[in-house]
Chain A
Amino acid sequence: EAGVAQSPRYKIIEKRQSVAFWCNPISGHATLYWYQQILGQGPKLLIQFQNNGVVDDSQLPKDRFSAERLKGVDSTLKIQPAKLEDSAVYLCASSSTAKSTYNEQFFGPGTRLTVL
């Protein structure tokens, strides 16, 4: 079974530029998550999708961050314009919606963003 795919793996941009990250979840997983992991901190949830609908985006800085999951499969996270404090690893995860106590999240390798 293929895992969660993310691209690019690394990105360096100047502040005020825009950037986009792509995530392809595990086949059949209806739930998709984007996390931000700043150096020295644990991952923080930015947004959660269930199919193509947003479940939780309470910690997404909506003035500069946007995300979409068209057709309920792939997802794109965009930052426009980027700030220095956006330098972080952006992790994508997915989980199934099978009826169980808890649906395990499977993580991709992440995209490391450096904003200069």
Chain B
Amino acid sequence: AQSVTQPDIHITVSEGASLELRCNYSYGATPYLFWYVQSPGQGLQLLLKYFSGDTLVQGIKGFEAEFKRSQSSFNLRKPSVHWSDAAEYFCAAAGTASKLTFGTGTRLQVTL
């Protein structure tokens, strides 16, 4: 069955520190991959997506993600976290039918 796994439920980092959120997927073929962010009371906002080509993709708000086929991973990174980055982050995948499967999310807390 198709699935997306985010092993970290909650992560706390200090402002200015680097960040890496993990995501692993299980699909029959390489799916389209996404990272979304959800702030309290808000809908989901797309940070970045990977379809093919360059395995390092740049997104909004200074985020980037690296696709590693051998590890079935699509980890999200940011070199320096800002307090406003505190939110819930969701990794998602879609096959050719465009149906999104989400992970369970990672809640990011930023300490000042």
Contact = CB atoms under 8 A, between A and B. Distances in A.
A42 B103 contact: yes
A42 B105 contact: yes
B105 A41 contact: yes
B51 A109 contact: no
B35 interface: no
B54 to A, nearest CB: 15
Contact of B32 (A43, A44, A102, A110): A102
B35 to A, nearest CB: 12
Contacts of A44: 102
Range for the number of chain B residues in contact with chain A: 20 to 34
A40 B32 CA distance: 24
A86 B99 CA distance: 22
Contacts of A41: 104-105
A42 B9 CA distance: 11
Contacts of B42: 109
A91 B44 contact: yes
Contact of A43 (B44, B46, B49, B51): B44
Contacts of B92: 42
29 contacts: A4-B43, A9-B41, A40-B105, A41-B104, A42-B4, A42-B90, A42-B92, A42-B102, A42-B103, A43-B44, A43-B100, A43-B102, A44-B102, A45-B99, A56-B99, A91-B43, A91-B44, A93-B44, A101-B51, A102-B32, A102-B51, A102-B94, A103-B98, A104-B49, A105-B100, A107-B43, A107-B44, A107-B45, A109-B42
Interface of B: 4, 32, 36, 41-46, 49, 51, 90, 92, 94, 98-100, 102-105
Given A42-B4, A102-B94, A107-B43, 5 more contacts: A4-B43, A42-B90, A42-B92, A56-B99, A109-B41
